[in-house]
Amino acid sequence: MGVEYTLVNQTKKETISFYQLEGAKIGELCRGHAQSALTTWYLLHNQGDEIQFVDDCSDDWKFSTGSKKDMLDYVDKTNELIDTLIENNILKDFGFSYVDEDDPTIFVRDLRSTRFSYEKY
């Protein structure tokens, strides 16, 4: 399957998750419009905070305080941040690229950079 990552802000006890986007593996985080925009915006607006990517396959915790299990109690800021990026004309919401027909709570959002023209899509 591969290693997937969550962005963790240990200072503010917040996370940015990528599970409803086009992937959370290293290559997907780098190539994905939404993942790259979320990460860049968040890092620029939280400079000085203790922030790391935490993988889902090991117990490795790179922070000096807390533990990986503490992440379950952190506030997931992903949807709030997506809304901010849409409001600031950085991302455009094209609905869903995938919805599980048996469980509609399982889906992948289709968010794209506004830098490109999507009229042909």
Query: Is it the case that residue 120 has pLDDT exceeding 50?
Result: no
In DSSP notation, 4-22 reads -EEEEETTTTEEE--TTTT
Q: What is the pLDDT of residues 12-42, one digit of tens each?
A: 999 999 988 988 999 999 998 899 999 999 9
Joined together, the tokens standing for residue 31 give 């190539």
What is residue 121's predicted lDDT score, i.e. its pLDDT?
Answer: 43
pTM above 0.75, yes or no: yes
Q: Which has the closest alpha carbon to 34: 90, 77, 89, 87?
A: 90
Share of the chain above pLDDT 90, in %: 69
In the block, residue with structure tokens 């790179």: 62
What is residue 17's predicted lDDT score, i.e. its pLDDT?
Answer: 94
Write down the domain spans for the chain: 5-113
